[in-house]
Structure 1
Amino acid sequence: MRRNSSLALAALAVCLFGTGVSAARADVLDDISKAKEIRIATDLAIPPSGMMDASMKPIGSDVETAQLLAKDWGMKLDFVQTTGATRIPNLQTGKADIAISTLSVTPERAKVIDFSKPYAVLESVVGGRTDVPVHSIDDLKGRTVCVTRGTTQDVELTQISRDKGFQVARYDDDATDVTAAVSGQCDLIATSLTIVNQITKKTPDRPFEKKVVLHVFDLAIGVKKGEPQLLARLNEWIAVNLKNGKLNAIYKKYHGNDLPPQMR
């Protein structure tokens, strides 16, 4: 009788969960290892992290980071072009294996994707022309601030805009966002300090400057939830390339300064 009960329970377990072989799910690291190809979501319209050169070849700090990763892992690199708003959906839907795209680590994002160890940093600021008298969040009252949809700046300023009495104008990508700010559609732009500096280089007759520091974020590689093997291998790769100086060299080449000492 006990034997029959045991057999019945075993049969039920097979029906519910399958055998050990069929229940095992191939993870993303297995998939990319077999394909010898890795699909990396990268925004190619956010200089100097991601952009196109005169010959329409991808360049930038995130681009070179992705290229270094693919080279070290012996894989073909397939860039999945993305925007700030589509980086996480690309991971969740399986369109991209990982995201290397100025993806700052936040508690909200950590609920829906996993993050690697930081490989770079991003200083999030409100910037504007030098003649715009803004020195604090309170000075934003009555003004319009440009943001790229889906970014940390969008989330943060949307939460405080009503209390502080300013408007948030959203654009689908950084290029459009910057154009709106430079053309005067907005009084200010909330973005990275690097982009604010890039605006000044391109429009020296109307220079922009940092007005308010919002946050200094760690930038990490985004991974779909439930991929521990892939995450562990990425963390190992980041640790090696921070120690040997390769990630710092990439960052300094495009951003003009070293990574924080504690990262290096």
Structure 2
Amino acid sequence: MSEHIGLSLMGLRFDFPYAGLGIASLIRNVNKLGFEEIEIPIITDELQMATIAQTVKVTGVHVCAIHAEKNLMQTSPKSLNDKVEATVRFAAALDSNLIVLHPAPEWPSHDQIETLARGFAKYKLAIENTNSVAVEWVKILSEYIECGIALDISHARYLGQPIDYYFTANVFHTHIRGYNSCERYTRIGPSDHEAIFELLYKEKQGLYKGALMLEYPYISLDDACDDKDVLTQLRKLVFE
């Protein structure tokens, strides 16, 4: 059984304590800890992009997803086009074919759909369930581009939407962390196991084939490894 567990750098705070480390060094450290799959937020600086691309090549880590700018769909038409092009340049540099996108609360306009379909034509688009209309976005965009869900377990619990609901669309990607109604970010705890098990059984049935991505603002990479161990044990209960 392959662990297939990755780490989203989207969840890590680059200001503290990783400010002096640099993203390339962070990737090397994450890979040494056994994470072979990572998700990276969009980087537009050309020098950083080249350094990250070289680090990815040397370490052999797989960049399974690029996370687009969070407010991408709430910008002007010109800005949307420019930012889509920048996202594609970064994805191409890292040989990643999956883009994670936050949907706006309202339906995408015809012009927005055209921009996404044209810009991401060679990529898979994963709409994260940051609001209740993510599945509807997927249904709309799937007519124009290969599109599915980026299923965040914590968001699903916050929205009160069952895991089964998201599998009415294709699920391309996941974010896994804990949920607590009183805190914005929570690490995996016993109350999260039921939702995680639901996802794992979907994986066992062959309905999800992507990586299981831990996403949390870890202060210590040791904490990330601890959560990786928890997720590994939960997978063993399902798969063995």
For the aligned pair, the TM-score class normalised by the smaller chain equals under 0.3
Q: TM-score, normalised by structure 1?
A: 0.26
Q: If you compute each CA radius of gyration, which structure gives the higher value, 1 or 2?
A: 1
Q: Where is the strand percentage greater, Structure 1 or Structure 2?
A: 1
Q: Which has the higher contact order (CA 8 A, sep 6+)?
A: 1
